[in-house]
Amino acid sequence: MSVKIIQPTSNLRGEIQIPGDKSISHRSIMFGSIALGTTEVTHFLEGADCLSTIDCFRKMGVNIEQLPDRILVHGKGLHGLTAPNETLNVGNSGTTTRLMSGILAGQDFTSVMSGDDSLNSRPMRRIMTPLNSMGAHITSIHNNNCAPLKVEPGTLHGINYQSPVASAQVKSAILLAGLYADGETFVTEPALSRNHTELMLKSFGADVSSLLHTDGTATAYIKPCQELYAQQIQVPGDISSAAYFIAAGLLVPGSELLIQNVGINPTRAGILKVCQDMGADITYLNEKNAGGEPTADLLVRYSHLHGTTIEGSIIPTLIDEIPIIAVMAACAEGTTIIKDAAELKVKETNRIDTTTKNLQAMGGNIIPTDDGMIIEGGVPLHGVTIQSHLDHRIAMVFSIAALIATDETQINDSQCVDVSYPEFYTTLERLR
Ligand code: S3P
């Protein structure tokens, strides 16, 4: 087991380059693999999850070159993948599993996907139900609605699917299968989830669009497609990774951090709205746009935060940031209430559980609820041993909490940060 010891600190100063966005990096490999031509990807995230996606597509005959400054995906076209001769190892990655299911459903060969213990216990019925109703043949090998999943050839039809969850992974799986269907496909979700698939598929030439309804629900639409065409993709910095350093800058007394090139797509940037509501001092600089994905440099200064309520349609735009928001709330004045976030229970760990237990162990006043948590701020945190339970986000969240604890903190299984942010501890050390 790898362990990190973190000492409290003050005055974090400096500039940080955030690694590439995980969601966009996955999609660049997947869409590049099923496009015609060579897709060039810069600022790709070489974290374990995205490397799982590369490995899976290589096993289906795609030549993917990892050069020092870019990735080249030599696409095979929509119908050019070949049968893998072993199980596709999806590692810890829900995005790989669920999005790839949509692509595999349209192939004329059989494949099997399996991952680690965490991945193989996450719910997959949410993609099996809509994809199978399109005509796919996806079965859970142990009959428990989890991976390993077997995908056999089927003839796909367009559907009009009402998704019970606002999930970009579910939406994307259906849209990708829709590329291979014999009619139009619609997916309506209870609130708009991240829209990277829609933006990127459109740039690859797909006929895809989306509509936000007045009641807050959202519908994405795709037409079947003859071929996709290779693109150049500049991956923006991952706001989910920036979130740890945004929190560090706001919470550690005397800090001022310039966090560069952060993706601020509105379907991802809910944490920035919450920071603003909590009274954070964050200035946006150097705003740009690449491939429909807006970015900015964020100048973050130590701030006196106050509690807030987070609920409803903002939740999908900050779902991965709720554990770090809980730490911010624990240091803020007053009460923070987080509701409508039951999806946290089916992430790499049950993050309602892993966040509240670890924060309570540090002395935080937090109680779990059925769909979120309630945090009473202003109680000093103290150092303890944190169990990451091999959840990358939990390891990083409590490494940041450790900076403001009264004494040292030990993070167990700290190497799991490699899933989304391999250089996290090097960056943290450099700032101290
Ligand atoms: C992701 C979607 C979200 C998010 C995950 C990445 C994606 O999951 O939590 O880290 O890349 O589409 P859900 O679709 O389950 O909400």
Domain boundaries in the chain? Answer: 3-20+236-430, 22-234
Common-topology check for domains 3-20+236-430 and 22-234: yes
Ligand 1: residue whose CA is nearest its atom 16 = 167
pLDDT given for residue 432 in this prediction: 85
C-beta of 168 in contact with ligand 1 (< 6 A): yes
Q: Is the separation of the CB atoms in 393 and 320 below 8 Å?
A: yes
C-beta of 319 in contact with ligand 1 (< 6 A): yes
The verdict on whether 320 is a catalytic residue reads: yes
222-254 exposure pattern, b = at least 16 Cβ within 10 A, e = fewer:
bebbebbebbebbbbbbbbbbbbbbbbbbbbee
For residue 7, give the 3-state DSSP assignment: coil
pLDDT given for residue 291 in this prediction: 83
Residue 214: CB partners within 8 Å, gap ≥ 6?
none
pLDDT given for residue 290 in this prediction: 83
C-beta of 23 in contact with ligand 1 (< 6 A): yes
Atom of ligand 1 nearest to the CA of 167: 14
| CATH of range 22-234; options 3.40.50.970, 2.60.40.420, 3.30.420.40, 3.65.10.10 | 3.65.10.10
Q: Is the separation of the CB atoms in 208 and 172 below 8 Å?
A: no
Q: Dihedrals φ, ψ of 336, to 5°?
A: -120, 135
Q: Is the separation of the CB atoms in 140 and 147 below 8 Å?
A: yes
Please choose, from the candidates 10, 15, 40, the residue with its C-alpha nearest in 3D space to the C-alpha of residue 297.
15
Segment-wise mean pLDDT, segments of 10 residues, the chain, 432 residues: 96 98 98 98 98 99 98 98 98 98 98 98 98 98 98 98 98 98 98 98 97 97 97 98 98 98 98 98 96 96 98 98 99 98 98 98 98 97 98 98 98 98 98 90
Residue 243: CB partners within 8 Å, gap ≥ 6?
271, 320, 321, 324
pLDDT given for residue 1 in this prediction: 87
| Domain 3-20+236-430 is found in CATH 3.65.10.10 | yes
| Other beta carbons less than 10 A from residue 205's beta carbon | 16
